[in-house]
Structure 1
Amino acid sequence: MFAVIVGAALAMPLFAQAQNAYVGVNAGNAELKLSGDLGSGKEDKTGYKAYAGYDFNQNFGLEAGYANFGKLKDREAGASVSMETSAFYLAATATLPVNPQFSAFVKGGVSQNRTKAVLSGFGQRFSGSEDKTSGMFGIGAAYHFNQNISAVAEYENFGKTYSENGAKLKASLVSIGVRYKF
């Protein structure tokens, strides 16, 4: 699955020569929710994403990208834990043009999430990473300044990014950004 997502992301620059291809960058609030047997909590971090897509027509398209949700850190009683989460995703998009300047969209697809964890304390250090494939979905809106440049606001949920020993980590991103359509 990871190879499909990476292949699609690498193929996107080829679409740049074609009409209806786009690229974009977003930044915003990444929420990391940790739950498990020992407790739960959530932390907000600055997250960002870079993406490329292709609109087959004014209503349907395909998008691939990379999102980084920041690092979750906690320190208690001489021990510390650090978890950094990111995702590659591939999603089908559906767009509803409201008028020439404004459109709404939804997306659904799959993400390959990676969480790197480091636990240290009491003279010991453990580290590892976990890859987890999860469904993802998003909803958003775009304001089109002209036929090439748009401002974008969206919410995306990337599902579980980590699951081990009863602990689960989920990630989502609320972001704004700029999209350039070729």
Structure 2
Amino acid sequence: MKTGFGLVLAGVMAVLAAGQAVAEDTGFYVGGSVGWAYLAGEGTDRIEDQDFDFSDDDVGYKVYAGWQILPFLGIEGGYVDFGEVEDTTPLTRTRIATDGWDAFVVGNLPLGFIDLFAKVGVIAFDSDLDFNGTNISFDDSESGTEGAYGVGAALELGSFAVRGEWEYFDIDGLDDLSLWSVGLTYQF
């Protein structure tokens, strides 16, 4: 009987301590991540009406800042660079470099020292295309604002957190533009 009371008391203390830790998980944060950017796409040569497609990956990175308004809700924005992807065949070479500024609403599920999160938002992107074929070469650029979303997890280590995530950017003409990344976040 005495042991049962001790277990209940220990459980109540743990819940109160966790509640205090969650209450401290609000405020401003900054971070940076590096990872693997993947891009696939297709298009048509505007002059000779030839179709081309490509898929490749490169090192990508991002820097971001955010505000954890409540333990379960935040906002975040930053700069993301997807690197330069290139696809070469015997007759063509396609190179695309894409970067942009993004903004997200972030839903957070705090589970002690591990947080799971999902986010939805937009990216204002710039994409530069360089196409070289056997008979034709051209450069093109496109910019716009499109939707984005992602999921991830963060392992809290005091004011720091190690964060891993996957993000998808829904840009017309660029299929499967995504970024898998791991980084470090500091919360003030």
TM surpasses 0.5: yes
Aligned partners of 2:176, 2:128: CA distance in 1, in Å? 14
TM-score (norm 2): 0.75
Which of 130, 139, 142 in structure 1 is aligned with 2:142?
130
Could you give the per-residue CA deviations for residues 95-127 of structure 1, whole angstroms, max 9, x where no partner exists? 11011x111111101111211011235586422
Aligned partner of 2:129: which letter?
A
More strand by percentage = 1
In the alignment, structure 2 segments of 5+ residues that lack a partner are: 1-25, 45-50
C-alpha separation between the residues in 2 aligned to 1:48 and 1:71?
12
Mapped pair 1:152 → 2:159? no
Matched, 1:21 2:21: no
Aligned length: 157
> What does residue 129 of structure 2 align with?
117
1:53 alignment partner AA: G
Residue of structure 2 aligned with 1:45, choices 52, 58, 64: 58
Please identify which structure carries the higher helix content. 2
The alpha-carbon deviation at position 44 of structure 1 amounts to: 2.0
Aligned to 1:175: 181
SS where residue 71 of structure 2 aligns?
Answer: coil
Name which one, 1 or 2, has greater alpha-carbon Rg. Answer: 2
Residues 110 and 55 (structure 1), Cα distance of their counterparts in 2 relative to 1, 3 Å cut: same
Matched, 1:60 2:73: yes
The residue type paired with residue 123 of structure 2 is: S
AA matched with 1:149: F
Residue 80 (structure 1) shift: 2.5
Deviation, structure 1 residue 157:
0.4
Helix, strand or coil for the counterpart of 1:94? strand
Taking every aligned residue pair, what percent have the same amino acid on both sides?
A: 30
Q: Distance in 2 between matches of 1:143 and 1:60?
A: 17
Does residue 43 of structure 2 align to residue 31 of structure 1? no
CA distance in 1, matches of 2:128, 2:52: 20
State the TM-score, normalized to the length of structure 1.
Answer: 0.78
Aligned partners of 1:78 and 1:135: how far apart in 2?
A: 34
Cα pair distance change 1:121/1:41, threshold 3 Å: closer
Q: Which runs of 5+ in 1 are unaligned?
A: 1-18
Kindly indicate whether the alpha-carbon contact (under 8 Å) linking 2:121 and 2:147 is maintained by their aligned counterparts in 1: yes
Task: Please state whether the residue corresponding to 1:56 is helix, strand or coil.
Answer: strand
How far apart, CA to CA, are the structure 2 residues paired with 1:122 and 1:41?
16
Q: 1:7 is matched with which residue?
A: none
CA RMSD in angstroms comes to 2.1
Which one is further off, 81-90 or 116-125?
A: 116-125
How far, CA to CA, are the matches of 2:150 and 2:67 in structure 1?
17
Contact kept in structure 1, 2:54 and 2:94, CA below 8 Å: no
Taking the aligned partners of 2:90 and 2:157, their CA distance within structure 1 comes to: 53
Pair 120,39 (structure 1): closer, same or farther in 2 beyond 3 Å: closer
